[in-house]
């Protein structure tokens, strides 16, 4: 129950719509049934998305972010060129945030962008993870109207990260997310020792 399953539903819905378009005009009942199936799959996809919010995808625990992104790429309705260069283990919350952004971007590329290919790059450098997802679709989408990415802003920003979306008409859509993956040294010390005490406050003894 995560966005990988949602992608599969989107692909099936698109297949149903393609079958409807190929059906002869005289088979009106069949065309209507295929349209109904496509609409039903879209509704189930939306319900699944709501249910899956906050659920940790099992594949992240099993293989990490790179493996999870490869699985998303294989299931994508649009071909994906994936480049992943990830050094060392990542915090769970960083992996989850990056995974959901990638899944949502691929779902949107299949549903709205009319893209023929998606380029996905994920790298780690100097304590930061950077995820870039770019498609060659029509662009021009309004990120504030039903793309699903709006709900991911809070997840990314809560981790001290940033998310930028460029969907200029005719230039496809490009999403760039940066997420910090290292705690500052001072913060590490504070987490270990606890917050500094006020002068004169009692201290514990062994």
Q: What is the pLDDT of residues 38-97, one digit of tens each?
A: 888 877 776 676 556 556 677 788 889 999 999 889 888 899 999 999 988 899 899 989
Instruction: State pLDDT tens for residues 148-180.
Output: 667 778 889 999 999 998 887 778 899 999 999
Query: Do 167 and 130 share a structural domain?
Result: yes
Tokens matching residue 123: 């790298």
Query: Do 70 and 154 share a structural domain?
Result: yes
Query: Do 142 and 109 share a structural domain?
Result: yes
Q: Is the dihedral of CA 67, 71, 76, 80 positive or negative?
A: positive
* Region of 194 on the Ramachandran plot (φ > 0 left; ψ -120 to 50 alpha; else beta): left
d(C-alpha 38, C-alpha 192), whole Å: 54
Does residue 104 fall inside a structural domain?
yes
Query: Do 88 and 21 share a structural domain?
Result: no
Q: Which of 11-20, 111-120, 135-144 has the lowest mean pLDDT?
A: 135-144
Query: Do 107 and 61 share a structural domain?
Result: yes
Does residue 127 fall inside a structural domain?
yes
pLDDT for the residue 53: 58
From 158, 187, 177, 151, select the one nearest 65 (Cα to Cα).
177
Backbone torsions φ then ψ of 185, nearest 5 degrees:
-55, -45
Cβ atoms within 10 Å, residue 101: 24
Task: Tell me the sheet residues that pair with 118.
Answer: 80, 135
The DSSP element (H or E) to which 176 belongs, if any, is: strand 174-180
Does residue 97 fall inside a structural domain?
yes
Does residue 202 fall inside a structural domain?
no
Query: Which of 14, 38, 55 is the last residue in one of the domains?
Result: 55
Tokens matching residue 159: 């981790």
What is the CATH number for 127?
3.30.565.10
Query: Do 140 and 43 share a structural domain?
Result: no
Query: Do 29 and 68 share a structural domain?
Result: no
Query: Do 50 and 122 share a structural domain?
Result: no
The domain total for the chain is: 2
pLDDT for the residue 193: 43
Residue 14's domain spans which residues?
Answer: 1-55
Query: Do 148 and 181 share a structural domain?
Result: yes
The residue assigned the tokens 């995974």 is 99
Query: Do 85 and 103 share a structural domain?
Result: yes
């Amino acid at each position: 129950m995560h966005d990988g399953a949602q992608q599969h539903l989107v692909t099936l819905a698109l297949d149903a719509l393609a079958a409807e378009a190929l059906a002869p005009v005289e088979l009106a009942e069949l065309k209507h049934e295929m349209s109904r199936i496509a609409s039903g799959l879209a509704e189930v996809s939306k319900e699944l998305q709501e249910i899956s919010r906050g659920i940790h995808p099992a594949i992240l625990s099993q293989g990490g972010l790179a493996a999870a992104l490869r699985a998303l790429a294989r299931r994508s309705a649009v071909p994906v060129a994936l480049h992943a260069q990830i050094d060392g283990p990542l915090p769970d919350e960083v992996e989850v945030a990056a995974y959901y952004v990638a899944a949502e971007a691929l779902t949107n590329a299949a549903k709205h962008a009319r893209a023929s290919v998606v380029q996905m790059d994920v790298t780690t450098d100097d304590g930061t993870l950077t995820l870039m997802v770019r498609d060659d679709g029509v662009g021009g989408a309004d990120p504030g109207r039903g793309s699903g990415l709006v709900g991911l802003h809070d997840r990314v920003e809560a981790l001290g990260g940033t998310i930028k979306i460029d969907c200029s008409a005719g230039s496809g859509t490009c999403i760039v997310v940066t997420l910090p993956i290292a705690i500052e040294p001072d913060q590490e010390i504070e987490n270990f020792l606890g917050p500094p005490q006020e002068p004169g406050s009692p201290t514990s003894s062994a």
